[in-house]
Amino acid sequence: MTGTSSRTLRLLALLQTRPDWTGPALADRLGASERTVRRDVERLRDLGYRITAVRGPYGGYRLEPGSALPPLLFDDEQAVALAVALRTATGTGMEDAAALALAAVRQVLPPRRRRRVDAVQVAAVPRGPRPAPIGTEVLLALAAAVRDREELRFTYAGKGLRRTQPHHLATWNDRWYLVAWDLDRRDWRVFRVDRIAPRTPAGPRFTPRPLPGGNVAAFLQSRFRGADGTPEWPCRGDAVLLRSADAVAPYLEDGRIEALGPDRCRVTLGAWSWPALAASFGRFDAGIEAARPPELARAFAHLATRFAAASL
């Protein structure tokens, strides 16, 4: 998309977010001159959008009712899904763009469906510190390399040059990642997108090799959990907690739970090491019995000694 077309679409989205805009305010949001804004307004008018210019010291532009696009053909479930996706775009680095997109979509929904979408107010809470914002141009460059199967060169974290065959873009815990085959290290690597500075032009085309695990979700799970080629944790075990299943369930995350009575339940968890697995049971603030396998029971004893020493 050319710069002019992209800017004109952004102008249309801004005009749909509130009734009146001054010329200087639009120019500031678009990073353009007021003269450029006037030209873009004329382009929108040529496309059939009724935009009124208000003269005077408090003048500006107004998108008249009825000049929006025809209603989008979404059913209720689709419209709500789209609204939730855009309202929960935290950690992507595109929160402002998502808000503008939602405002634009909302304008072209039928009134009844618009009211239903407006009723869905979601508070999206990031899982950790706010990630570095992702530039749209960087994301588009990586996506194009993945789509076209072109080798990609980039500087990573301000250090050396990496040569890769990009395979997938993915998100994990509010961050963007690029999954790629590293040509120099001859192995699969996972790169944080906010640390990538792409080089141009792109390299030659390549024939993609099979991704371990068969799909990107399983591959990322295995890499982030410290395993190799499997989405399972390296260490898994279970124990009986002396609390009800209802009290434990809200803190379970990706574990499994089995109710054994009003004040007992068996919990199964995974972790990257046996001490880490034993420590994860401590977050439930409950008595622990019947831990298995033996490696988990020994890890409890090891941590007990370590914690006792720390209390002195």
Domain boundaries, the chain: 3-63, 76-118, 136-224, 235-310
Compute the mean pLDDT over every residue in the chain, rounded to the nearest whole number: 82
Residue 205 is classified by DSSP as B
Does residue 73 carry a pLDDT above 60? no
Q: Considering the domain delimited by 235-310, tell me its CATH architecture.
A: 2-Layer Sandwich (3.30)
CATH topology of domain 3-63: Arc Repressor Mutant, subunit A (1.10.10)
130-165 pLDDT, tens digit each: 666 677 788 889 999 999 999 999 999 888 899 999
Q: Where are the beta strands (DSSP E) in 183-283?
A: 187-192, 196-198, 235-241, 256-261, 264-271
pLDDT on residue 92: 61
Residue 225 sits at φ, ψ, to 5 deg, of -95, 0
pLDDT on residue 201: 82
Does residue 220 carry a pLDDT above 90? no
Q: Where are the beta strands (DSSP E) in the chain?
A: 51-54, 60-63, 152-156, 161-172, 175-182, 187-192, 196-198, 235-241, 256-261, 264-271, 288-292
Mean pLDDT comparison of 73-77, 112-116, 140-144, 226-230, highest-scoring range: 140-144
- Is the dihedral angle over the CA atoms 12, 14, 15, 18 positive or is it negative? positive
Same CATH fold, 235-310 and 3-63? Answer: no
Q: How confident is the model at residue 1 (pLDDT cuts 50, 70, 90)?
A: very low
Strands lying side by side in the sheet with 235-241: 256-261, 264-271, 235-241, 288-292
Residue 118 sits at φ, ψ, to 5 deg, of -65, -25
What span, in angstroms and rounded, lies between the C-alpha atoms of 210 and 297? 39
CB 10 within 8 Å of CB 36: no
240-265 pLDDT, tens digit each: 999 988 888 877 767 788 889 889 99
274-302 pLDDT, tens digit each: 998 999 898 888 899 999 999 999 999 99
Residue 237 is classified by DSSP as E
Residue 18 is classified by DSSP as S
SS3 43: helix
Cis, peptide link before residue 293, omega less than 30° from 0: yes
Query: How many of the other CB atoms lie within 10 Å of CB of 41?
Result: 22
Q: How confident is the model at residue 226 (pLDDT cuts 50, 70, 90)?
A: low
Q: Return the structure tokens found at 17.
A: 């977010």
Does residue 34 carry a pLDDT above 80? yes
Instruction: State mean pLDDT over 159-174.
Output: 87
**Report field, pTM of the whole predicted structure over 0.85:** no
